[in-house]
Amino acid sequence: LWMGGKRLRIRAKLTSSLIDFRPFFGGGPALPEPIARVVRGNNAQVFSSEPWQLDALGLLDADITLNAGRLIFGKWDLDDVATRVVLANRNLRIASFGAGVAGGRVTATGDIAADRTPAGVRLDGRAKGIDLARLSTMVKGDGLIKEGTGDLDIAVTGEGNSTQRLMADLNGNIGFSVNKSRLDTRLFVLAWAGLLGEISVLVSVKGRRGTHCTCRGFDLRHGSRYAYRP
């Protein structure tokens, strides 16, 4: 801990067999708003326009490494967590992140550059072998996905001072695959509403609620789908 410079500086290495945040926080991350809008019947806009509060990133510099055998946050139950986060000059960098999630593995790196306005954002992530039914429960999705496994690859950049502004500027590519899934019919309501129109045309339907396999990628340019990639 250094206290003599312009900002407080912290460097830490933390190791634990178990970190349980449930006594300190609520239920953890919620369902993404586009799906929550159909599941819960509210009329909230798809992405929030509320400005991000990033001033706190200028209060200190930090380099923190965390390794945890198990980390619980609300309904989220992660295992074999290994991450390093660096904050310097209002720039937050996820140097590395890896965790077991819903029977699979998630890895990611990313940045939030808050030293400029609007802030710059980068995310490069992979999710492999995720049990989608377990994931649906963890994000409070009311069991929208009953069965199936999925993979996701994402590499995007953008600028914004709110989630809405960032999504309107997003550039990069996203690829996903879903294997032998069984879905709640409310997901098809989403598709018919146009919220999942880009995905619904790709689904090979088995019966009323099942899919054999979905595998697709697409590029983003300024928040819009630019081109499909097989």
- Cis peptide, bond prior to residue 118, ω within 30 of zero: yes
Four-CA torsion 20, 25, 31, 37, nearest 10 degrees: 160
Q: What percent of the chain has pLDDT over 90?
A: 35
Closest CA to 215 of 162, 179, 171, 172: 179
* DSSP single-letter state for residue 2: B
Token pair 């890895």 is found at: 107
Res 202 pLDDT > 50: no
**What token pair was written down for 212?**
């054999």
Least confident of 2-11, 61-70, 209-218: 209-218
d(CA 36, CA 88): 35
Instruction: Label residue 225 by pLDDT band (50, 70, 90).
Output: low
Q: How confident is the model at residue 195 (pLDDT cuts 50, 70, 90)?
A: very low
Strand partners, 193: none
Averaged over 157-170, what is the pLDDT? 87
In whole angstroms, what separates CA 5 from the centre of its chain?
A: 35
Six token digits for residue 185: 């019919």
pLDDT band of 46, cuts 50, 70, 90: low
Write the pLDDT tens digit of every residue in 124-133: 999 999 888 7
Query: How far is residue 45's CA from residue 160's CA, in Å, rounded to a whole number?
Result: 17
The three-class DSSP label of residue 36 is helix
Angle at 105 between CA 125 and CA 146, to 5 degrees: 105
Residue whose C-alpha is closest to residue 5's, from 79, 64, 62: 62
Is the torsion defined by CA of 216, 81, 25, 134 positive or negative?
Answer: positive
The pLDDT assigned to 182 comes to 64
pLDDT at residue 74, rounded to an integer: 79
Strand (E) or helix (H) holding 156? strand 145-160
**Res 199 pLDDT > 50:** no
